[in-house]
Chain A
């Protein structure tokens, strides 16, 4: 059984105008340690997928299972990062990174008595994303790209088995975005967590992912699955190779087709 598995999963929201089907009988399987990207036109229920996998919302039909167990409530192990860094302005960068450790077991009961050890841990992960020495700063003193790095650190500091990313680089400028692709690539290479990245940037998906799922417009359905067998380690140059360009082209074509329906 795959690490993350959706079978026949649907979600309908109840709104004033009746029921809206956000996700329609989606099937998806992500192996342990796999990096998958989900791409699709805007409003296709990509974020709904995130909520279902993390157990923040129960599906209205079908099942979701993670690590061999059916998801019946919030996961308790997943790291998440969003388009906005959502850092807490009253905490320093280091304390922001430490936030998950104040909640997840077994750290929550140790963090007070082993403060130093945990601070070093936060500093170590900040260093891996190029933010050595920024621990005592406040989030608002950092640029958008740096804040997003902190957000990634916060999502990964408790070494989750599953990382969920919802368009984490969408608000950044092109150069910063590419920089952060490499940061994420290196983090994944090192920790090998299972990662689900929701994005609308096809180059981002090809550069980072092992597999790409293409979704249809609302109601969201998973239409295609591509395996990206570009060898690793990858650097940004591969995006200009024939193989990558071909995949991006195909993806573009498929999404354009979906949009016209």
Chain B
């Protein structure tokens, strides 16, 4: 087997190995299913509830993507605004840090108060939790622009806007696309937090119900569904990142 093949297969092998280990441990220690169900049991339960899982996954997916989309637009705009000048950067950054330090779980009740139980708080929680890395990355990309490059353009009579459009923004794109794969997973976490606290549908809600009914295998089934969705979304944005900013991943192609 070639090295490339091994690298491709490694994640699958590790995943399967983990599940085998889990199964073996459950049998070996004679774990009761209501404490830690065996993976085979979890998979069987997932099959039994495939309709509910699918439906609620779609709901979670929709709130995640909606919140994430708002975060992208807002994060990009705020990031460019903050990165525009040193003064704005140093003025707004502490406020941002303060905002980001608030656990979003604490915000959900307020959102419920304002918008009621359901989809809207989930979307907003997903948005609130995921815009921060986008803002920070875009602002950092802009703020770390080489002063020489700025001098070259200014000595040609370029305006601040032109410097941003020609150099600043393209330069911060790898940071932006890099932040998307972090942001999408965070948005996902945000949506689920909100769903487990106050919602009528979604994977988080399903999980809560399963727990209330003591259907532990289904709780684990939901967790696996969450992991699969999370990996899929991360993979999509990692791929997008490579497509959009290939020039930033140039090591290995070049001679120096």
- What residues make up the interface of A, taking CB atoms closer than 8 Å to B? 51, 54-56, 74-80, 82, 84, 86, 88-90, 99-100, 102-105, 138, 140-141, 143-144, 154-155, 158, 164
Contacts and interface: CB of A to CB of B under 8 A. Distances in A.
Given A82-B148, A99-B166, A140-B254, A75 B247 contact: no
B55 interface: no
Contact of B247 (A74, A99, A138): A138
B248 A89 contact: yes
Interface in B182-229: none
8 closest A-B pairs by beta carbon, nearest first, are: A76-B157, A78-B155, A54-B155, A90-B247, A74-B154, A82-B148, A103-B156, A103-B158
Contacts of B44: none
Contact of A86 (B149, B156, B173, B255): B149
6 contacts: A54-B155, A77-B156, A80-B148, A89-B248, A138-B247, A143-B255
B170 A88 contact: yes
Given A89-B248, A90-B247, A143 B170 contact: no
Interface string B152-173: 1111111000100011001101
A103 B157 CA distance: 7
A86 B157 contact: no
B157 A143 contact: no
Contacts of A75: 155, 157
Given A90-B171, A141-B254, 4 more contacts: A54-B155, A84-B146, A88-B167, A100-B156
A202 B167 CA distance: 35
A66 B158 CA distance: 19
Contacts of B86: none
Interface of B: 146, 148-149, 151-158, 162, 166-167, 170-171, 173, 245, 247-248, 250, 253-256
A54 B151 contact: yes
A96 to B, nearest CB: 11
A141 B152 contact: no
A51 B146 CA distance: 15
A104 B148 contact: no
A249 B158 CA distance: 42
B156 A90 contact: no
Nearest to B158: A103
A158 B170 CA distance: 23
Nearest to B251: A140
Contacts of B247: 89-90, 138, 140
B155 A86 contact: no
Given A82-B148, A103-B162, A56 B154 contact: yes
A155 B245 CA distance: 26
B146 A78 contact: no
A168 to B, nearest CB: 11
Nearest to A105: B157
Nearest to A50: B151
B256 A143 contact: yes
Contacts of A82: 148, 151-152
B248 A104 contact: no
Contacts of A154: 152
A88 to B, nearest CB: 7
B151 to A, nearest CB: 6
Contacts of B255: 141, 143
A104 B149 contact: no
A141 B65 CA distance: 38
Given A86-B148, A138-B247, A141-B254, A164 B155 contact: yes
B208 to A, nearest CB: 47
Contacts of A144: 256
A80 B158 contact: no
B155 A74 contact: yes
B255 to A, nearest CB: 7
B250 A80 contact: no
Contacts of A89: 247-248, 250
Given A89-B248, A102-B166, A56 B155 contact: yes
